[in-house]
């Protein structure tokens, strides 16, 4: 089954066996009747499993070429479950340019439980090996990175992980399985903030994990069930609905993203544009080899590196909405230093390029000409 068909049918039964419903029903229930203690039809309590959520988890697994999917209450809940695979004293090698919420979870929560994190540049994947010790258990990769759009070679990272018997987890939120499938490149775990492109309509908060290995899936399911970080049936239904248009949405995100990136690159007031589709991007060849296209996420800085100018621009946008998050059908603009990455200390942010003048765009599926006109009037 090809990807565009998988978005609609992948992992799904043809019809609901009860009444023939084409869409999986919303099983809005917390518990299930049993004929005898332990005698049930596959579900006993909705924290442990729910038919609507199960349908979604099968869809997640299908899209990422995995065997097992898990749906969580948020992307951070999914990341939380992965780190709970570890023990005090273990070490993690992580992308240094990553989502601020991930950094906050790693440093403010899990470092307190004795897990050590090394935040490093992974643009040269060989750099990862310099930080591997006998205590290393996990490599955490985000590619393209948020918000600097750095690209990391997943296959090369996988070779290092396998050489040292480490787990490799890839945050695939920006690319989505439409553009990039890390499990096919050797990753052990794929994570999504499904809130973003997978849902696609800015109306649900959710996280996802997908794996191939049965033992790893069982360990993660145990953590999920024991910790209770699950999503509800209504959100599962909304996410399933969103997935069915992922392929057509991503195609337009990519088309519009290219036009916006090229417009910004030629603007006299723009100093630098970060987008992996440019041949000048440091890892463009890797992006081209492991991604189908280059997505709709773009970051840029204005000349002079002026904080006030960046704030003026995002406040003056009219079609782009100034808001947190990304990946919806509508275009969004954000100021990472004061919004999504504010939890990272300023000196650490700036080491990776997240300066006070950086603006991040999530290019939606509107008419590209309208988006360009909006940027034109806002930048001036």
E-only strand ranges, 2-60:
none
Tokens of 289: 């080899």
Is the separation of the CB atoms in 236 and 55 below 8 Å? yes
> Which residues pair with residue 270 across a beta bridge?
302
Cβ neighbours of residue 323 closer than 8 Å, sequence gap 6 or more:
332, 333, 334
Q: Which alpha helices (H) appear in the chain, and where do they start and end?
A: 3-9, 51-63, 75-83, 100-104, 154-163, 176-179, 214-227, 233-243, 246-265, 284-290, 307-316, 346-351, 368-379
Tokens of 68: 């097992």
* C-alpha distance from residue 311 to each of 41, 153, 193, 268, 314 (Å): 56, 34, 26, 18, 5
Cβ neighbours of residue 313 closer than 8 Å, sequence gap 6 or more:
302, 359, 378, 379
How far is Cα 299 from Cα 290, in angstroms, rounded to an integer? 21
Catalytic residues: 47, 99, 171, 196
């Amino acid at each position: 089954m090809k990807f565009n068909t998988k978005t609609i049918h992948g992992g799904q039964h043809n019809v609901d066996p009860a009444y023939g419903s084409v869409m999986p029903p919303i099983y809005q229930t917390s518990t299930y009747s049993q004929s005898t203690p332990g005698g049930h039809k596959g579900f006993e309590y909705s924290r442990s499993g729910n038919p609507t959520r199960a349908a979604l988890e099968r869809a997640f697994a299908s899209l990422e070429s995995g065997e097992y999917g898990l749906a969580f209450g948020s992307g951070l809940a999914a990341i939380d479950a992965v780190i709970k695979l570890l023990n005090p004293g273990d070490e993690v090698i992580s992308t240094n340019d990553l989502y601020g919420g991930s950094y906050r979870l790693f440093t403010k929560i899990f470092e307190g439980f004795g897990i050590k994190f090394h935040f490093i540049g992974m643009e040269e994947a060989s750099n990862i090996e310099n930080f591997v010790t006998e205590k290393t258990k996990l490599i955490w990769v985000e590619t393209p990175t948020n918000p600097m759009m750095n690209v990391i070679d997943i296959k090369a990272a996988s070779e290092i992980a396998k050489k040292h018997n480490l787990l490799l987890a890839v945050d695939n939120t920006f690319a989505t399985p439409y553009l990039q499938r890390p499990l096919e490149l050797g990753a052990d775990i794929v994570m999504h903030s499904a809130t973003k492109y997978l849902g696609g309509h800015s109306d649900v908060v959710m996280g996802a994990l997908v794996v191939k290995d049965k033992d790893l899936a069982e360990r993660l399911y145990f953590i999920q069930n024991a910790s209770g970080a699950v999503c509800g049936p209504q959100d599962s239904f909304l996410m399933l609905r969103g997935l069915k248009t992922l392929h057509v949405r991503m195609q337009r995100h990519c088309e519009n993203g290219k036009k916006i990136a090229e417009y910004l690159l030629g603007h006299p007031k723009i100093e630098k544009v970060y987008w992996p589709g440019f041949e000048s991007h440091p890892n463009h060849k890797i992006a081209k080899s492991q991604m189908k296209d280059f997505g709709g996420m773009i970051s840029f800085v204005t000349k002079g590196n002026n904080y006030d100018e960046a704030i003026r621009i995002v406040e003056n946008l009219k079609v782009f909405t100034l808001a947190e998050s990304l990946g919806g059908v509508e275009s969004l603009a954000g100021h990472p230093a004061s919004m999504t990455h504010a939890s990272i200390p300023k000196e650490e942010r700036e080491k990776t390029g997240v300066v006070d003048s950086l603006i991040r765009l999530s290019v939606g599926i509107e008419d590209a000409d309208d988006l360009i006109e909006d940027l034109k009037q806002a930048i001036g």
